[in-house]
Amino acid sequence: MRRTIYDEDHEAFRESVKEFLDRSVRPHLEDYQEAHALPREFWVEAGKQGLLGLEVPEEYGGTEAGDYRFNAVLTEELAKVNMSLPSCLGIHADIVAPYLVHLTTEEQRKRWLPDFCAGQLLTAIGMTEPSGGSDLAALKTTAVRDGDGWVLNGSKTFITNGYSADLVVVAARTAPEKKARGITLFGVRSDSAGFSRGRKLDKVGQDESDTAELAFEDVRLRDDDIIGELDNGFIHMMQWLPQERLGSAITNLAHARQILDETIGYAQQRQAFGKPIGTFQHNQFLLAELVTQVEVTQAYVDQCVVAHAAGELTAIDAAKAKWWTAQVQNDVLDHCVQVHGGYGYMNEYRVARAWRDARVTKIWAGSNEIMKMLIGRDLGL
Ligand SMILES: Cc1cc2nc3c(=O)[nH]c(=O)nc-3n(C[C@H](O)[C@H](O)[C@H](O)COP(=O)(O)OP(=O)(O)OC[C@H]3O[C@@H](n4cnc5c(N)ncnc54)[C@H](O)[C@@H]3O)c2cc1C
């Protein structure tokens, strides 16, 4: 079905992103996998291309478009390559960016954003801790007042870009008695004394992304490292979660669509019993159902993109998009593996890696259960 949410400018931008990916990224995908990380050159090239500053005003080195549909186009094109790219780049340019643009002081924007846009200051966000991620309000990392500064102690885990980040937005407890209302966000430089990282975590999929544990031992911070308002970090995180969830939904669907398209091509070529496997009625019906599922889902996600571009996307609608697309993606990719037969289980086949890469989407950025809990609460249940 023809999509109507993008105009000529968005499509021209899409072409420039594709050209960048073909030129600077696709030739190096095997290297990224082996390194279990995206190299700094990737970030610098993406910065030169203007892809890191879509949320950032020009005066701070950005290419602010003022239209979320450009972010959506970028996310779609990255997801067509693999899941790691929209995850890593999305954390930096789509998830951390709003915190640094909208919650910061003029001095902080000047300090952080030009290098952020140039790929010289790579960022991550540290919410999840070893003791739990779903119950964010229960986090244990503390920042305690000491003279005119703060002392940070605790740890974070599963942090995307955590191994290579220069600046981590860290959620820490500043007022123990106030629970959710006693959490503050800090910009913590990874070269601070007392900041350390564990090994790169060994994940089931997404080999190209670095995911790390972070530890803070008496890390000294200043008042001007606080992002947003003191004790208001939980509210700040809730405020920007719809964009994170929508980004996840766009990724889920674009990735699933791409692999499904490739699977349809495979079903047309692969022969069994003297004919293409796609012509067996079971496979024909299966692929018809999957295409329908994906296209109907696209209509909902597109409406979410339009709503978000207009500043109207609710946290609940974003939660629906996030869990539903994660489920659709996992269902679709599991069938795609099946259609590929034994080759679908070989890591050298893209469909196998895509299937591994996708599993986490029902867990991260708020699990499917947590999304349903939020939707259920909204129903008054
Ligand atoms: C590859 C990867 C990258 C990640 N990147 C980041 C990152 O960059 N920054 C960051 O901060 N975090 C990141 N995360 C963490 C991720 O957001 C958490 O894993 C997620 O929020 C779940 O938290 P948890 O793992 O502690 O599971 P838990 O909170 O322990 O939950 C375990 C299970 O219990 C279920 N559950 C929990 N509470 C309820 C409830 N009330 N009702 C029903 N079921 C419930 C959950 O749905 C889940 O199935 C990443 C995780 C992964 C795997």
Alpha carbons 253 and 305: distance in angstroms, whole number: 13
Give me 104's structure tokens: 């910061």
363 CA distance to ligand 1 centroid (A)?
Answer: 6
Alpha carbons 74 and 30: distance in angstroms, whole number: 21
Q: How far is CA 139 from the centre of its chain?
A: 21
pTM of the shown model: 0.98
Share of the chain above pLDDT 90, in %: 98
Q: Ligand 1: does its nearest atom lie under 6 Å from the Cβ of 169?
A: no
Ligand 1 atom index nearest CA of 161: 8
The residue whose C-alpha atom lies closest to atom 21 belonging to ligand 1 is: 133
Residue 277 — very low, low, confident or very high, per pLDDT cuts 50/70/90?
A: very high
- Active-site annotation holds for 30: no
pLDDT tens per residue across span 129-153: 999 999 999 999 999 999 999 999 9
Q: How open is the CA angle 315-260-211, to the nearest 5 degrees?
A: 55
| Per-residue pLDDT, 65 | 87
The residue whose C-alpha atom lies closest to atom 30 belonging to ligand 1 is: 132
pLDDT tens per residue across span 16-72: 999 999 999 999 999 999 999 999 999 999 999 999 999 999 999 999 989 999 999
Please report where in the chains the tokens 């069994």 appear, as a residue.
272
Enclosing H/E stretch for 214: strand 211-222
Q: How far is CA 343 from the centre of its chain?
A: 29
Q: Are 234 and 175 in contact (CB under 8 A)?
A: no
Residue 199 — very low, low, confident or very high, per pLDDT cuts 50/70/90?
A: confident
Alpha carbons 247 and 75: distance in angstroms, whole number: 7
Enclosing H/E stretch for 267: helix 233-269
Q: Ligand 1: does its nearest atom lie under 6 Å from the Cβ of 256?
A: no
State mean pLDDT over 314-323: 98
Q: Ligand 1: does its nearest atom lie under 6 Å from the Cβ of 59?
A: no
Q: Are 220 and 372 in contact (CB under 8 A)?
A: no
Residue 176 half-sphere exposure toward CB, CA atoms < 13 A: 6
Ligand 1 atom index nearest CA of 360: 53
Alpha carbons 171 and 156: distance in angstroms, whole number: 9
Give the mean pLDDT of the chain. Answer: 97
160 CA distance to ligand 1 centroid (A)?
Answer: 13
Identify the sign of the CA torsion 72, 74, 76, 78. negative
User: Any alpha helices (H) in 270-314, and if so which ranges?
Assistant: 281-309
Catalytic, out of 208, 213, 244, 295: 244
